[in-house]
Homo-oligomer: A and B are copies of this chain.
């Protein structure tokens, strides 16, 4: 099967590392196709950037002219998954929900550890909407911006691991979802320091998309995600209407 894995920001190196994470999780025979939006922010750390990403991801997918069997939206806590579900017939998996849903099979409560404090409410809101909030112990932030993960990896690593430890000892999380990708040693380090399973959203999303595809399951089209009604939409898709 073919899975589009769509980054939510415009940073190509991030798209690349997301693609690698996806490939590492994929079953033999699964082809991963990483995509970068044509417009939007170099990193998503707030609502303006996230709404822009929602549209940019839809735009990127609708202008992709190959075939695919599932789409993964690879941004943590971002808007937009509902639009993709409406627009497409194939399964759509958001990594925030994939991670949480997977974590719930592994422990009684889970926490999410992410980058900046300002993105915490976005993640909380997405998990509330997804109905994945009851077993959420906490969303914690390391205080490091998305791009600092690459520029100062050592300090970022320490800050993130510290929050993971607090999630386990104070908030009683039994599983950690990492809401910040792109660091080679992160997962191993967190596991070592906290002793709890660590779920990466991209990897979780790949196995879920594969499972849905294998079982022939597709987005329900009877109500919320029925195809858009035929009507005039000005300037859409964005990139082909400039």
- Complex: how many Å from CA A74 to CA B208? 20
Partner of A48, one of B86, B91, B135, B208: B86
**What is the copy number of this chain in the assembly?**
6
CB of A191, distance to nearest CB on chain B (Å): 10
CB atoms of B224 and A107 under 8 A apart: yes
Residues of A at under 8 Å CB distance from B? 10, 25, 27, 38-43, 45-52, 54-56, 58, 79-80, 82-83, 85-87, 91-93, 97, 101-102, 104-109, 117-118, 120-122, 125, 128-135, 145, 168, 172, 174-175, 194-197, 199-200, 203-204, 207-208, 210-212, 214-215, 217-226, 228-229, 231-236, 238, 241-242
Provide a sorted-by-A list of 17 A–B residue pairs whose CB atoms are within 8 angstroms: A27-B214, A39-B238, A40-B234, A41-B231, A47-B83, A51-B51, A52-B236, A54-B79, A101-B104, A122-B224, A133-B134, A195-B221, A195-B222, A197-B219, A204-B215, A207-B212, A238-B238
New A-B pairs, 17, CB < 8 Å, besides A42-B233, A52-B55, A196-B220: A10-B234, A25-B215, A39-B238, A41-B232, A46-B229, A47-B225, A49-B233, A54-B79, A91-B105, A102-B212, A105-B208, A107-B224, A108-B224, A128-B128, A128-B129, A131-B135, A207-B214
Partner of A207, one of B45, B117, B210: B210
The 3 A-B residue pairs with the shortest CB-CB distance in the complex, in nearest-first order: A39-B235, A207-B211, A131-B134
| Chain B residues within an 8 Å CB radius of A204 | 211, 215
- Complex: how many Å from CA A129 to CA B47? 14
| Chain B residues within an 8 Å CB radius of A234 | 10, 38-42
